[in-house]
Structure formats: structure tokens, C-alpha cells
A = this chain, B = another copy of it.
Amino acid sequence: MSTEMEDIVVVFKEKPVLKDPVFVEGLPGVGNVGKLAAEHLVDQLKAVKFAELFSKYFPPQVLVNDSGTIRLVSNELYYVQRPASAHDVVIMTGDYQGLTPDGQYELSDRTLKIIKDLGVKKIFTLGGYGLGKMIEKPRVLGAATDLELVEEMKKYGVTFSKGEPGSGIVGASGLLLGLGNLYGMKSVCLMGETSGYFVDPKGAQAVLEVLAKILEVKIDFTELEARAEQIDLITSKLREVEPPSEPKREDLGYIG
């Protein structure tokens, strides 16, 4: 057995000591909403990378940087210390979600073990909610581990809508809530509406606007707005060329 690779290899650069931290996750998914939002949050809060997760549940792949150097695909953990707040923040983002169902479970479970160790008691997972059609003003849908949190989230403008998402929440944004329950953690999934056809900075902004209020942070959205304009430009040109076809049923699912 000792000759086998660990299923998940966690490399810590640092083990931060944090003050009642909340955890925020945003990984690739529908419209890449969660990943865009988490990366923007890392930038804006000047979060510090302290750990990398490598895993045989990810694709067997290295990415090549512009300089010609490589890095193995991974998930990454960042922290933010906030002296003026009661809560520090831990953020996870990365290149991929687990490729298989059991990989998804293992990765979420390991993440929960790590953040429990850091003292996390509350989780926010970020994702997109695929509508299969273009949307002007994306709402932010929510799901949470208990009714009290549902009510609290409504105050921040989160929509809880019966039957949405109908097929539940698939992937890390769902599992961290579901498995987190077994670890006694309270959690919320925030889903920004998105067509699901493009990388969607608008959906990411909608999600972050809610999260900023919850975390009491100020976020500059200039960069996300610029990216959204670029994508609007591209999609409006595409719409001139061909009318959007009716989405297939299976395109509407939520993975986040």
C-alpha cells in the first residue's frame, strides 16, 4: 500500500491561524460563475495562497504558463485576515472539479476536513444556475442547510424559489453543503442565473454583490464589468448571425 500514491495530495505552504473563519468555494461549473466569483474575490481581498490540492481525481494534465513553465492542475486554498471583522475568510478555487462521482465526494470530504481544522463553521458555495436562455438581470438563487439561514439570506436579496433548482445541486457546491452537514457546518449555496452558454462575469458579479453584503467587504467590479461587456459584444454579434436555438433539456442542469 505504501507504494501507492495518495488519492489527494495536499501541499501546505503555510498553516494560517484564523479567527472564526468563513469558507467560500468557487470552482469551474455552469457559466464558470463560481470560479469567476471566487477568483475575483481572491484578487479584491488580496487573499494569500496557503495550500494546493493535487489529486488523481483531476485530469492527468499540466497547464503551460506563458513563460513556458508548467503547473500541475490543482485546487487552491487562500486566506484573508480581517482585523476589523469578527471573521477571517478562506477561499477555494481551482482548475477542475473531480472527474468522477467518487472523486467529487473524496475531494469535498477532504476539503471539509481541512477547513474544519482551520476552525470553519460556515460555508458559502458559489455557482451558476443554467437557464438555457439569455438573461439581462440575473437573480441569485439560494439553498441552505437550515431554515434560519434561508430566512437570513432572503434579507440579502437571495431568491428561494420552490422547484428551483429542480434537479438539485450537483458537484462541489452541493456536496460541501450536504457533507458539511455531517461535520456540523452551516452552509449556503449562492447560484447566479446564467444562460450557461458562455463564461458569465455578470452572473459572477450578481453572486459577489450578495456575498459582499454578507461578508461586509467592499468589492470593485470594474474588471468583471469590463469582461461582461466584452462577452456581451461577442454574443450580440452571434445573435445577429444566427438565432439562438432552443436549448436541449440536458443543458439546463446545474453543476457548480
Chain B residue with the shortest CB-CB distance to A74: B178
Q: What is the oligomeric copy number?
A: 4
Q: How far is the CA of A120 from the CA of B17 in the complex (A)?
A: 38
Q: A60 to B160, Cβ gap below 8 A? A: no
Residue A245, interface by CB 8 Å: no
Chain B residue with the shortest CB-CB distance to A179: B72
Q: How far is the CA of A171 from the CA of B73 in the complex (A)?
A: 12
Q: A169 to B62, Cβ gap below 8 A? A: yes
Residue A104, interface by CB 8 Å: yes
Residue A214, interface by CB 8 Å: no
0 or 1 for each of A1-15: is its CB under 8 Å from B? (1 = yes): 101111111010000
Interface size for chain A: under 10, 10 to 19, 20 to 34, or 35 or more residues? 35 or more
Distance of A57 from chain B, by nearest CB (Å): 7
Which B residues are CB-close (under 8 A) to A144?
Answer: 68-70
Distance of A27 from chain B, by nearest CB (Å): 12
User: Which of A1, A3, A106, A169 neighbours the largest number of chain B CB atoms within 10 Å of its CB?
Assistant: A3
Stretch at the interface among A32-40, A108-116, A197-205: A108-116
In-complex Cβ contact of A70 among B54, B61, B71, B189 (8 A):
B189
Distance of A193 from chain B, by nearest CB (Å): 15
Residue A174, interface by CB 8 Å: yes
In-complex Cβ contact of A72 among B54, B72, B178 (8 A):
B178
A–B pairs, 21, beta carbons within 8 Å: A1-B1, A4-B106, A5-B106, A11-B182, A54-B178, A57-B102, A60-B98, A60-B101, A60-B170, A60-B171, A61-B168, A66-B162, A68-B142, A68-B143, A68-B150, A69-B146, A69-B147, A70-B143, A70-B168, A70-B169, A72-B182
